[in-house]
Structure 1
Amino acid sequence: MLYRYKKSFKKVAMGLLSLTTKNKSVSHLSETIEVYEKNTQKQLYFWKEGENITGLAGVEIGDHDFSILHLSVNPSYPVEETGMKIVEELRLLMRGKEMILSRDAALYLGKIRHMAEDIMPYREEKEIS
């Protein structure tokens, strides 16, 4: 189930974010989280299985669409299944808005679904980090 990010879980968010970003420095991860904390158009969501936080999604919300900027799943859990659950829950939460993927999110989804990079469409300008 999706839950809104809380500052008390910043280190957990940074750990999950580090699974999908090239720059894994603590300062870069912290700055990325701060972008989500300060910008009301950008939201972080945790995915929880029972009491465990198993995934993270970073989303930018527009009037007619939403962009998945970051998506990651703890590799100790079923990655493909959890990743797709996160995407489906986001679609339900955003109530019919068009979904756009960042390049990183598209690559991650393609990787966990064992697909070629060019199968998952994305928009280059939807990068955050």
Structure 2
Amino acid sequence: MLVPYKSMNQKIAMGLLSFMPKEKDVKKLQKTIERYENDIDWKLYLWKEEDFVGVIGISIESGEALLQHVCVNPSHRREGIGKKMLRELMKTLPCDLKPTKETKRFLRTCVKEEESL
């Protein structure tokens, strides 16, 4: 289930975001969380199964949503959670979803798999 980020989940969100290659540095990670908390155009969501196991974040720019972050706890990877998060997120978006350089491969793979069904 996709759950909008709340500051009470900050440690969980930071832990999940830290699995992304460019979010390893604590100061960078703190700035990222701060942006999601303070910029109305940046939205972060957590994925909850029994526990929180994934995170997905977007920014809205010029009428498009940019997929900024997507990460699943390594012990829950290869279970389709990333695709589930993406599907649920896309249902809520009022605009097209575009990748960033960091999320391009993931988004392209998911779209190809959806098209082949």
> TM-score, normalising length from structure 1?
0.76
Query: Do 2:4 and 2:46's aligned partners in 1 also have CA atoms closer than 8 Å?
Result: yes
Q: Which runs of 5+ in 2 are unaligned?
A: 113-117
Separation (CA, whole Å) in 2 of partners of 1:93 and 1:33: 21
Correspondences of 1:46-85 after superposition (within 5 Å): 46-50=46-50, 52-62=51-61, 64-79=63-78, 81-85=80-84
Q: Structure 1 or 2: larger helix share? A: 2
Query: Do 2:46 and 2:55's aligned partners in 1 also have CA atoms closer than 8 Å?
Result: yes
Aligned Cα root-mean-square deviation (Å): 2.1
SS in 2 for 1:40: coil
Separation (CA, whole Å) in 1 of partners of 2:35 and 2:47: 20
- The alignment-based identity, stated in percent, is 35
Separation (CA, whole Å) in 2 of partners of 1:66 and 1:34: 19
- Once the two structures are superposed, residues 4-63 of structure 1 have per-residue CA deviations (whole angstroms, 9 ceiling, x without a partner) of 11111111111111111334121211111001111000011001113x101001111246
Corresponding residue number in structure 1 for 2:115: none
Correspondences of 1:29-44 after superposition (within 5 Å): 29-44=29-44
Q: Which runs of 5+ in 1 are unaligned?
A: 114-118, 120-129
Separation (CA, whole Å) in 1 of partners of 2:70 and 2:6: 17
Separation (CA, whole Å) in 1 of partners of 2:33 and 2:23: 13
Correspondences of 1:1-129 after superposition (within 5 Å): 1-50=1-50, 52-62=51-61, 64-79=63-78, 81-95=80-94, 97-107=95-105, 109=106
> TM-score, normalising length from structure 2?
0.83
Separation (CA, whole Å) in 2 of partners of 1:35 and 1:68: 14
Corresponding residue number in structure 2 for 1:124: none
Q: Which moved more, 1:54-63 or 1:82-91?
A: 54-63
